[in-house]
Structure 1
Amino acid sequence: MSNPVLNSRLIDIQELGDERGMLAVIESNINVPFETKRIFYIYGTAEGVRRGFHAHHKTRQALVCVSGKCTVFLDNIERKTDILLDSPTKLLILEPNDWHEMYDFSADCVLLVLASHLYDPEDYIRDYNQFREVYGG
């Protein structure tokens, strides 16, 4: 039985502000379509390094560069695309069926990730051939 193809997508976060500065709000089950159970961030990535190289069985994620920029490569078997995250108001909803790799990190990049599940090593698909077996049908 193959898993259904879910669509990762880029959404805009509403920004609020005045002369004092800006505010962007991310809320579980509002602009993030799941309850957040785990939050982590990636920073200090050396130039030329790619990260990720996996998909998930169940975990959904929301990615936002709160500082700097990076690119996220997505592959869900049916399409391959690169998404530039270069604003704290761009939120990438990443579905489990997307093999993902992050690259081209700026020196000041802080990539915030909100996840639907706690860390579970069994949820990770780290072998691309296994990913194709699980999501390729």
Structure 2
Amino acid sequence: MSFKESNVYECSVSELPQISNRAGNITPLTSNEEIPFDIKRVYYLYDVPGGESRGGHAHRDLHQLIVAASGSFDVVLDDGRIKKTVSLNRPNYGLYIKPGIWRDLTNFSSGSVLLVLASLPYFESDYIRDYREFIDLKLKYTR
């Protein structure tokens, strides 16, 4: 599945493994097992002020798994034709996002932490930060 063919229906929420214990829970994640790609980068967002949004971009080649490590937030997915909003609020569920999907991160609860597992190191050239350019690329690839 390429950039042009990716759509919001291929971005799915999956339950992640959870080992429960009276002393607390743990969710172990392994590349190419629970995560459908090699993990090359991990980062997290936190202290997002109320009413602010993050994201506002798409990736050319990057695959991501997004987890609400704490609190809750919404992920608005957009493939250029269809928009879909996914609410994340449990640390043992992850949203897999393929390349070629625009994402906006909104409605952060107080104290929320958004964890991202990514398939590539940071490359600015992989980002599409202009929505019109994103739409033009999607149209170009579908011709």
Aligned AA for 2:30?
E
SS of 1:132's partner is helix
Out of 94, 101, 106, the position equivalent to 1:98 is 101
**Which stretches of structure 1, 4 residues or more, deviate above 3 A after TM superposition?**
none
Matched, 1:17 2:42: no
**Hey, what does 1:58 align to over in structure 2?**
61
Q: Deviations over 1:105-124 (max 9, x none)?
A: 11110100011011111100
TM-score by length of 2: 0.90
Correspondent of 2:123 among 120, 123, 133: 120
Moved more, 56-65 or 21-30: 21-30
- Runs of at least 5 residues in structure 2 that lack an aligned partner in the other structure: none
Q: Whole-Å Cα distance in 1 between the matches of residues 97 and 13 of structure 2?
A: 9
Q: In structure 2, what is the Cα distance between the partners aligned to 1:101 and 1:4?
A: 20
Give the drift of 1:10: 0.7
d(CA) in 2 for partners of 1:4, 1:73: 18
Displacement after TM superposition at 1:125 (Å) = 0.4
Deviation at 1:43, TM superposition (A): 0.1
Q: Which is richer in strand? A: 1
CA distance in 1 between counterparts of 2:6 and 2:108 reads 28
Aligned mate of 1:45, from 45, 48, 56: 48
TM-score (norm 1): 0.94
Distance 1:4 1:56 in 2: 13
| Greater mean alpha carbon deviation, residues 18-27 or residues 112-121 | 18-27
The residue aligned with 2:34 is 31
1:4 matched to which residue of 2? 5
Shift of 1:5: 1.8
The count of residues paired between Structure 1 and Structure 2 equals 137
**Cα distance in 1 between the residues matched to 2:53 and 2:114:** 13
- Higher helix proportion, which one? 2
* Root-mean-square deviation (Å): 1.5
SS of the aligned residue for 1:134 comes to: helix
Mind listing any 5+ residue stretches in structure 1 that lack a counterpart?
Answer: none
Q: Measure, in 2, the Cα distance between the counterparts of 1:60 and 1:74.
A: 14
Q: State the shift of 1:15 in Å.
A: 1.0
